[in-house]
Structure 1
Amino acid sequence: MRNTLAEPRVADALDRMFAAAAGDDAVAARVDDFGSTPQEHADAAEEIYMPISAEAGRLLYSLVRAIRPATVVEFGMSFGISTLHLAAAVRDNGTGQVITTELSPHKIATARRTFAETGLGEVITVLEGDARQTLADLPHSPGFVLLDGWKDLYLPVLRLLEPRLAPGTLVVADDAQFASVRPYLAYVREPANGYSCVTFPVEDELEISCRL
């Protein structure tokens, strides 16, 4: 059975990016000011990968394979490590598309080259700009959502998408142990807001929420 993650060009790209991401702390230490707006933050962090862990990537792949969503939405592409895992699952399902968002022009250009090199570009659409604007008019309702951009925007992005979320939609938030994710967690863990949640203990934790 096909597993695109194991194809040499995809596996090599992921190995290369994970290795580069190991230097994130050193790169971040050289940044004097991350700015106050999302765009300023993105520009300052244009060389920082901020990836999901390899284990989290495999979990994302398995979840998308299992639920077979027609549309996957990702908030926060960065250099595209998580995007490749999502796109590999979509490709192996034989149906669907990944719509991802990113503010950094540098990261977008680099990621698009990687997507082309791995043969996954045809199932990925990159929306450049503030996700609160670019995701406002999605052509299709997402069946799977990954939140992995600026943590303080998790809740606003979820609320933006919420009218389009059908019962059974999975929403996965990375870095659930970060203090800046607490408002989001408080919202999805409140039963009245219509989610069933579980925290998955990979690096920095994933919060997996099913829309009820």
Structure 2
Amino acid sequence: MHPDFTPSASGPIRDPRILSVIERMNASRNRPPRDGLGPDQGSTRDPQDFAEFGFSIHPDQGDLIYLLCRGMGARRVVDFATSVGMSAIYFAAAIRDNGGGQMIGAELVASKVEVARRNLTDAGLAEYADIRVGDARETLRDLGGPVDFALIDGWPLPEGPSLARQVIEIVAPQLRIGGYILNDNAEPDFLDYIRDPANGFISVTLPIKRGTELALKVAEPAKAA
């Protein structure tokens, strides 16, 4: 296992079945060569070209998701993008331990959805997950009710608004006051949105991975004059 992705022995999840799946997934992490995915190269690539690579959150981010969801009693959460299901497992574990609910995932690459569903099944969490295949800008338009927590960790685009910015504009109106947004990639236009007081959020950058933005919805957006 790569030392950067070793789960903490003191982490909040105690279920050995879940932990064994997380450990297996961390041990089998694979990424493209450094010159094959980056701010310049990767942003111009089709995500289908990377179907064999499982891009996943850091274990510290997973522990944070689990703890916050447990603490707030989360019952409806959003996982964008699901990839092979690492973040989905942390979400679904919290949902289960809160007494039930639904993790709504969004993933464009169908083969990754198949892997994610197998991983959730292996962890005993499949019944808590609804992974929607396709463009998140369409699949997340109706989340079925107020959302407690959302992870926004999408694929970079070559130009124009980032997917993170486009998805936050879809998800934010469905997020309840007191709900959280966690962002992994610190896209500048996402940060512009989340840090604009008119949009109803306060946020902090956490020293996890390359910088993880955690935002709390404290008000509904201000109406334009």
Alpha-carbon distance change, 12 to 27 in structure 1, aligned in 2, over 3 angstroms: farther
Is the partner of 1:202 in helix, strand or coil?
coil
Structure 2 residue corresponding to 1:24, chosen from 19, 31, 37:
31
The TM-score normalised by the length of structure 1 is 0.87
For residues 79 and 119 of structure 2, the distance between their equivalents in structure 1, rounded to whole angstroms, comes to 17
1:10 aligns with 2:15: no
Residue in 2 that maps onto 1:92: 97
1:206 offset after TM fit, Å?
A: 1.3
1:148 offset after TM fit, Å?
A: 1.2
CA-atom RMSD, angstroms?
Answer: 2.1
- 2:205–2:212 contact (8 Å) kept in structure 1: yes
Structure 1 residue corresponding to 2:123, chosen from 118, 127, 141:
118
1:87 offset after TM fit, Å?
A: 0.8
Segment drifting more, 54-63 vs 185-194: 185-194
1:27 offset after TM fit, Å?
A: 8.8
Residue in 1 that maps onto 2:211: 205
Aligned length: 200
The TM-score normalised by the length of structure 2 is 0.82
For residues 35 and 138 of structure 2, the distance between their equivalents in structure 1, rounded to whole angstroms, comes to 27
- 2:47–2:155 contact (8 Å) kept in structure 1: no
1:146 aligns with 2:154: no
For residues 46 and 66 of structure 2, the distance between their equivalents in structure 1, rounded to whole angstroms, comes to 28
Structure 1 residue corresponding to 2:192, chosen from 179, 186, 191:
186
Alpha-carbon distance change, 27 to 91 in structure 1, aligned in 2, over 3 angstroms: farther
Residue in 1 that maps onto 2:179: 169
Q: Which deviations, in whole Å up to 9, do the C-alpha atoms of 1:168-190 show, x marking residues without a partner?
A: 111111122xxxx0111011112
Amino acid at match of 2:13: L
Q: Which deviations, in whole Å up to 9, do the C-alpha atoms of 1:89-143 show, x marking residues without a partner?
A: 1111113210001011111111111111111000010100000001112212211
Amino acid at match of 1:5: I
For residues 13 and 112 of structure 2, the distance between their equivalents in structure 1, rounded to whole angstroms, comes to 21
Is the partner of 1:24 in helix, strand or coil?
coil
Amino acid at match of 2:215: S
The structure with the greater share of residues assigned to helix is 1
Segment drifting more, 99-108 vs 143-152: 143-152
For residues 119 and 126 of structure 2, the distance between their equivalents in structure 1, rounded to whole angstroms, comes to 8
For residues 43 and 68 of structure 2, the distance between their equivalents in structure 1, rounded to whole angstroms, comes to 35
1:35 offset after TM fit, Å?
A: 8.2
What is the identity percentage for the equivalent residue pairs of Structure 1 and Structure 2? 34
- 1:74–1:100 contact (8 Å) kept in structure 2: yes
1:166 offset after TM fit, Å?
A: 2.2
Is the partner of 1:9 in helix, strand or coil?
helix
What are structure 1's unaligned runs of at least 5 residues?
A: none
1:34 offset after TM fit, Å?
A: 5.9
1:137 aligns with 2:145: no
Is the partner of 1:204 in helix, strand or coil?
coil
1:47 aligns with 2:57: no
1:162 offset after TM fit, Å?
A: 2.4
Amino acid at match of 2:206: F
Alpha-carbon distance change, 28 to 6 in structure 1, aligned in 2, over 3 angstroms: farther
Amino acid at match of 1:127: R
For residues 166 and 113 of structure 1, the distance between their equivalents in structure 2, rounded to whole angstroms, comes to 31
